[in-house]
């Protein structure tokens, strides 16, 4: 059963677990379960995904419950009228805050503008040697993408040399192996934590929150991060 964060007559939000695809995709033929079908079966009605999350990203996933609401939600995302916030655990001590204005290439080679603002919430230094360093440093950051490019946060944090832990192929493979070897952690530590927007039907401003999944919380506990 999927965790439902909110449901009304027009839309529903779930807290998607890591590893679950939103819908069928030719690039992931190994998958047998999808959020779209699971939610449709759970509710016993058709649902329309209003946006996408990467397979390994957990968190808030918004669905419309009718075609009219779907059109309006799609317009809100397209016009950048939905505020999205993510939590991520990244390598190193990230700056207190920052802006990443770094264009990204589409699969067809077209360059698109991409902008992410972020702030560092907490930092941790583990007394475990990594490579030439006597200890291992990490940061818990809150990211607010202003554009919605594919793998934007993953590419942006890699660009500033603070890759998201567990990210493949944009992250640090040595860190990913380090986490898998020491803590049997094989998940990408990126979580869609908040969606804020004007409800397309009742016109009320809403702010929905989703708590990170157990594996993300386990890593936070390991590092002493308080959520």
Q: What is the C-alpha to C-alpha distance for residues 179 and 165, in angstroms, rounded to an integer?
A: 8
Q: Say whether the peptide bond before residue 169 is cis (omega within 30 degrees of 0).
A: yes
DSSP for 142-162 reads EEEESS--TTHHHHHHHHTT-
Which burial class, exposed, middle or buried, applies to 120 when counting CB atoms under 10 A from its CB (0-12, 13-18, 19+)?
middle
173-183 vs 214-223: helix axis angle to the nearest 10?
90
The encoded tokens of residue 92 equal 């190193």
Residues annotated as catalytic are 54
The encoded tokens of residue 130 equal 């990594």
């Amino acid at each position: 059963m999927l965790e439902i964060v909110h449901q009304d007559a027009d839309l529903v939000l779930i807290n998607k677990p890591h590893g679950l695809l939103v819908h069928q995709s030719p690039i992931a033929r190994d998958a047998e379960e999808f959020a779209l079908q699971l939610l449709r079966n759970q509710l016993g009605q058709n649902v329309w995904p209003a946006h996408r999350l990467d397979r390994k990203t957990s968190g808030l996933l918004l669905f419309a419950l009718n075609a009219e609401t779907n059109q309006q939600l799609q317009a809100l995302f397209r016009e950048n009228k939905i505020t999205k916030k993510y939590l991520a655990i990244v390598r190193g001590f990230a700056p207190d805050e920052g802006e990443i204005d770094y264009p990204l290439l589409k699969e067809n080679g077209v360059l698109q503008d991409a902008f992410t603002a972020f702030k560092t919430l907490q930092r941790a230094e583990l007394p475990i040697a990594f490579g030439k360093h006597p200890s291992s440093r990490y940061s818990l950051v809150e990211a607010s993408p202003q554009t919605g490019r594919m793998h934007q946060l993953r590419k942006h944090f890699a660009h500033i040399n603070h890759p998201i832990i567990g990210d493949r192929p944009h992250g640090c493979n040595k860190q990913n192996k380090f986490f898998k070897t020491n803590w049997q952690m094989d998940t990408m530590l990126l979580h869609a934590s908040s969606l804020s927007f004007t409800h397309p039907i009742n016109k009320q401003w809403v702010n929905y929150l989703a708590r990170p999944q157990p594996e993300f919380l386990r890593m936070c506990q390991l590092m002493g991060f308080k959520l």
